[in-house]
């Protein structure tokens, strides 16, 4: 399902850029909200513009920007998507902030909108964290010198299509937007995100662990709610 959503959004964003002169500007707005789960939360501000074809006014596609944060407690991140004890960084807490370029699509009927969006590319930053690296003691690898140690790390800075690629920071949403008035709406949705960290020495040098890996990541999901403010409807 994620792959289908991503492919559709990428194709539509290409049409948006290539054939924008044949479209009319339909909607623009700002969503301010947050996602929550047991030990973490993720606030975001999303600016979006959508365009539609005159013959299909109910179908709109667009681009936008998302400023987001992710703050959590105890978290395990994995290398190469392997959720095994030897390929993990264990954090007491994590925090990352980002700014992403986003593609979106929605269906609009009366006061209701249903759609999805995904980060195409973006940057992320956050506090340096130390994470425990247990290592694979049964079959030691290239990172044996760092086994059972706390290692400095930070969020991966430059990110690309996190819905499809591992080891990148970013988010996607599936949502319903309900317009209570002409100036205020409520957005209910679900966030599909990824958190990625990279190991670094204190002097900025590389720390290569087993399989010469430096990047560790994991996906998260959480319900989301936001207030919506139209700029153009």
Is the Cα torsion angle 94, 88, 168, 29 positive or negative in sign? negative
With a pLDDT cut of 90, the percent of the chain lying above it is: 70
Mean confidence (pLDDT) of the chain: 88
Q: Where are the domains of the chain?
A: 2-232
Determine the Cα angle at 46 with ends 41 and 49, to 5°.
155
pLDDT tens for residues 55-99? Answer: 888 999 999 999 999 999 999 999 876 677 778 999 999 999 999
pTM of the model: 0.87
End-to-end CA distance of the chain: 30
Alpha carbons 8 and 104: distance in angstroms, whole number:
9
- pLDDT at residue 2, rounded to an integer: 52
Q: Residue 163 pLDDT > 90, yes or no?
A: yes
- pLDDT at residue 25, rounded to an integer: 53
Strand-pair partners of 129:
153
pLDDT tens for residues 175-188? Answer: 999 999 999 999 99
51: Cα within 13 Å, side-chain hemisphere: 19
pLDDT tens for residues 26-66? Answer: 789 999 999 999 999 999 999 999 998 778 889 999 999 99
| Local structure of 21: helix, strand or coil | helix
Spelled out in words, what is the top-level CATH class assigned to the domain 2-232? mainly beta
Residues 6+ apart with CB under 8 A from 75: 40, 90, 91, 93, 94, 195, 218
| Local structure of 57: helix, strand or coil | coil
Please give the structure tokens belonging to residue 5.
């959503």
Please give the structure tokens belonging to residue 196.
């990625």
Alpha carbons 162 and 194: distance in angstroms, whole number:
6
């Amino acid at each position: 399902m994620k792959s289908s959503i991503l492919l559709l959004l990428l194709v539509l964003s290409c049409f948006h850029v290539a054939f924008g002169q044949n479209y009319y500007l339909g909607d623009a707005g700002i969503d301010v909200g947050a996602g929550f789960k047991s030990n973490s939360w993720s606030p975001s501000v999303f600016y979006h513009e959508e365009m539609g074809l005159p013959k299909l006014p109910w179908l709109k596609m667009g681009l936008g920007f998302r400023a987001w944060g992710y703050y959590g407690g105890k978290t395990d991140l994995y290398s190469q998507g392997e959720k095994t004890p030897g390929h993990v960084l264990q954090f007491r807490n994590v925090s990352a902030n980002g700014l992403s370029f986003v593609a979106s699509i929605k269906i609009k009927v009366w006061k209701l909108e249903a759609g999805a969006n995904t980060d195409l590319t973006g940057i992320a930053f956050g506090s340096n964290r130390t994470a425990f690296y247990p290592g694979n003691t049964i079959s030691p690898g290239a990172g044996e010198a760092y086994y059972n140690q706390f290692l400095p790390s930070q969020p991966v800075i430059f990110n690309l299509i996190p819905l499809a690629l591992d080891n990148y920071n970013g988010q996607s949403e599936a949502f319903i937007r309900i317009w209570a008035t002409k100036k205020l709406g409520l957005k209910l949705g679900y966030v599909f995100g990824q958190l990625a960290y990279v190991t670094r020495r204190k002097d900025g040098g590389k720390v290569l662990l087993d399989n010469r890996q430096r990047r560790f990541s994991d996906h998260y999901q959480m319900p989301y709610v936001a207030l919506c403010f139209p700029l153009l409807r």
